[in-house]
Chain A
Amino acid sequence: MNFDFSDDQKMLKEQVKRFLEDKSSLDKVRKILEGDADYDEALWKGLCELGVAGAAIPEEYGGLGLSALELCVVAEELGRAVAPVPFSSSIYLAAEAIRMFGSEEQKHAWLPKLASGELIGTLAAAEGIQAPTPRNLKVTYKNGKLSGEKLPVADGNIAGLAIVLCDVDGSAGLALVDLSAENVTRESVATIDPTRGHARINFNDTPAELLGDPSEGWSNYCRVESGAAVLFGFEQVGGAEAAMNMAKDYALDRYAFGRQIGSYQAIKHKIADMYVKLELARSNCYYGAMVLSEDAHDLELAAATSRVAATEAYRFAAQESIQVHGGIGFTWEANPQFHYRRSKLLALALGSAARWKERLVAELERINAA
Chain B
Amino acid sequence: MDFNDTPEEAKFRSEVRSWLEANAKPKDPSKARAGRSTKSEQERLERAREWQAKKAEAGYAAITWPKEYGGLGGSSIHSVIYSQEESHFDVPGGFYEIGLGMCIPTMLAWATEEQKQRYVKPALVGDEIWCQLFSEPSAGSDVAGLRTKCERDGDDWIINGQKVWTSGAHFCDYGIIVTRSDPNVPKHKGLTFFFIDMKSPGIEVRPIRQITGEANFNEVFFTDVRVPDSQRLGDVGQGWKVALTTLMNERLAIGQGSGVDHAELLQLARDTELETGPAIKDASVREHLADWYVQSQGLKYTKFRTLTALSKGQQPGPESSIGKIVSGPKMQDLAGFGMDMQGQGGILHDGELSPLNAAFQNQWFGGAGYRIAGGTDEILRNIVSEQVLGLPQDIRVDKTVPYNELPRGK
Minimum CB–CB distance for B295 against chain A, Å: 6
| Residues from chain A with Cβ under 8 Å of B300 in the complex | 283
Task: Knowing A2-B308, A269-B378 are in contact, say whether A276-B322 is a contact too (CB < 8 A).
Answer: yes
CA distance A360 to B291 in the complex (A): 10
Is A276 touching B384 in the complex (CB atoms < 8 A)?
yes
Contact size range, A = 35 or more
Task: Note all chain B residues with C-beta closer than 8 A to A271.
Answer: 385, 389, 391
Q: B4: which A residues are within 8 A, CB to CB?
A: 1-2
B394 touches A (CB below 8 Å)? yes
CB pair B381–A269 under 8 Å, yes or no, is yes
Assess the A364–B298 pair: CB atoms within 8 A: no
Would B301 and A265 count as touching, CB distance under 8 A?
no
Pair A3/B297 contact, Cβ less than 8 Å: no
- List of A residues within 8 angstroms of B311 by Cβ: 1-2
Contact, CB under 8 Å: B389 / A280: no
Q: Smallest CB-CB separation from A307: which chain B residue?
A: B294
Chain B CB count within 10 A is highest, among A5, A252, A293, A305, for: A305
Q: Does B79 make an interface contact (CB < 8 A)?
A: no
Q: Is the CB of A265 within 8 A of B394?
A: yes
B-contacting residues, A246-284, CB 8 Å: 248, 251-252, 259-260, 262-265, 267-269, 271-273, 275-276, 279-284
Task: State the CA gap A69–B322 with chains docked (Å).
Answer: 25
Query: Is the beta-carbon distance between A305 and B294 smaller than 8 angstroms?
Result: yes
Q: Are A265 and B378 in contact (CB under 8 A)?
A: yes
Closest to B9 in A: A1
**A residues 68-95 touching B (CB-CB < 8 Å):** 69
Query: SS class of chain A's interface: helix, strand, loop or mixed?
Result: helix
Bound Cα distance A215, B150 (Å):
81
Q: Which residues of B contact A286 (CB under 8 A)?
A: 1, 301, 304-305
Check A273 against B266 for contact (C-beta < 8 Å). no
> Across the two chains, which residue of chain A brings its CB closest to B377?
A269
Q: Shortest CB–CB separation between residue B311 and chain A, in angstroms?
A: 5
A364-B293 Cα distance, complex, nearest whole Å: 9
B156 to chain A, nearest CB (A): 43
| Bound Cα distance from A275 to B388, whole angstroms | 9
Q: Is A107 an interface residue (CB 8 A)?
A: no
Query: Is A368 within 8 A of B290, CB to CB?
Result: no
Contacts of B388 in A (CB 8 A): 272, 275
In the bound complex, do residue B301 and residue A357 qualify as a contact, i.e. CB atoms below 8 Å apart? Answer: no
A221-269, CB < 8 A from B? 248, 251-252, 259-260, 262-265, 267-269
Q: In the complex, what distance in Å separates the CA atom of A65 from the CA atom of B296? A: 34
| Interface check A316, CB cutoff 8 A | no
Contact of B8 with A by CB under 8 A = no
Query: In the complex the two chains form, is B389's CB within 8 Å of A283's CB?
Result: no
CB-defined contacts of B304 to chain A, threshold 8 Å = 1, 3, 283, 286-287
Which residues does chain A contribute within 8 Å of B297, judged by CB atoms?
Answer: 283-284, 287, 305, 309
Residue from B5, B289, B325 in contact with A276 in the complex, judged by beta carbons closer than 8 Å: B325
- Produce 1/0 per residue, A343-363, CB < 8 A to B: 000000000001011101100
Interchain nearest-CB distance for B246 vs A (Å)? 24
Q: Are A3 and B308 in contact (CB under 8 A)?
A: yes
Which chain B residues lie closer than 8 Å to A268 at the CB level?
381-382, 385-386, 389, 391
Q: Is A290 an interface residue (CB 8 A)?
A: yes
Query: Closest A-chain residue to B285, C-beta based?
Result: A361
Inter-chain contact B392/A283, CB cutoff 8 Å: no
- Do B381 and A273 touch across chains, with their CB atoms under 8 A apart? yes
Chain B residue contacts of A273, Cβ below 8 A = 381
* Extra pairs beyond A280-B326, A308-B290 (5, CB < 8 Å): A3-B305, A268-B391, A280-B295, A357-B290, A358-B286
Q: Can you offer 13 A-B residue contacts whose CB atoms are under 8 A? A: A2-B3, A2-B4, A3-B1, A3-B3, A264-B394, A272-B381, A272-B384, A279-B322, A280-B299, A280-B302, A284-B301, A309-B298, A357-B287
